């Protein structure tokens, strides 16, 4: 192993594709997050939890917080997008979801290159991340 003068090949096709999808998704997610946060702090949309009451909740554990604020776990937030605080979850979900899209995007390229093992690994990663995102995997409370 060491340094030697060799012809530098280009970056693999699937890697460039992954990077391209990741870049667009990341910028979109961050942009939306900043805009929705401005909407939230300016009070353009009324929040579900009044901002003045937030400091009462964030010192509780999550189980007590959900009960006290009457918030449901999982994708329930998606039904509350008219509220200023839950609107921010669009950007957060995009940032947390862009990797799934990146993996899904490279599977056809890997299959076309007959890189079956990596196509299966990429599919497996999509399944793992989708399972996490689905909300079906639940943790116990404190």
- Within 86-115, the residues that bind another protein by CB under 8 A are 88-89, 92-93, 95-100, 106
Query: Rounded to whole angstroms, how far apart are CA atoms 122 and 119?
Result: 5
Task: Yes or no: say if 91 and 33 are a contact pair by the CB < 8 Å rule.
Answer: yes
Q: Does 29 bind another protein (CB under 8 A)?
A: yes
Pick out residues in 7-26 that bind another protein (CB under 8 A): 7-9, 11-12, 14-16, 18-20, 22-23, 25-26
Using the CB atoms, write b or e for 76-89: b if 16+ within 10 Å. Answer: ebeeeeebbbbbbb
Q: Which of 31, 46, 75, 116 binds another protein (CB under 8 A)?
A: 75
Nearest approach in angstroms of CB 15 to another protein is 4
Q: State the DSSP code for 9.
A: P
Q: Does 71 bind another protein (CB under 8 A)?
A: yes
């Amino acid at each position: 192993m060491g340094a030697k003068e060799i012809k530098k090949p280009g970056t693999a096709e699937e890697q460039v594709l992954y990077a391209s999808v990741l870049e667009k998704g990341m910028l979109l997610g961050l942009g939306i997050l900043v805009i929705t946060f401005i909407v939230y702090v300016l009070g353009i949309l009324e929040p579900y939890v009044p901002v003045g009451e937030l400091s009462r909740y964030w010192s509780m554990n999550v189980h007590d917080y959900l009960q006290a604020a009457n918030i449901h776990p999982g994708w329930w937030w998606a039904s509350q997008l008219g509220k200023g605080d839950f609107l921010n979850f669009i950007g957060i979900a995009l940032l947390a979801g862009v990797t799934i899209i990146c993996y899904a995007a490279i599977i056809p390229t890997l299959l076309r290159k007959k890189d079956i093992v990596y196509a299966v690994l990429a599919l497996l990663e999509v399944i793992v991340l989708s399972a996490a995102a689905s909300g079906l995997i639940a943790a116990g409370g404190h």
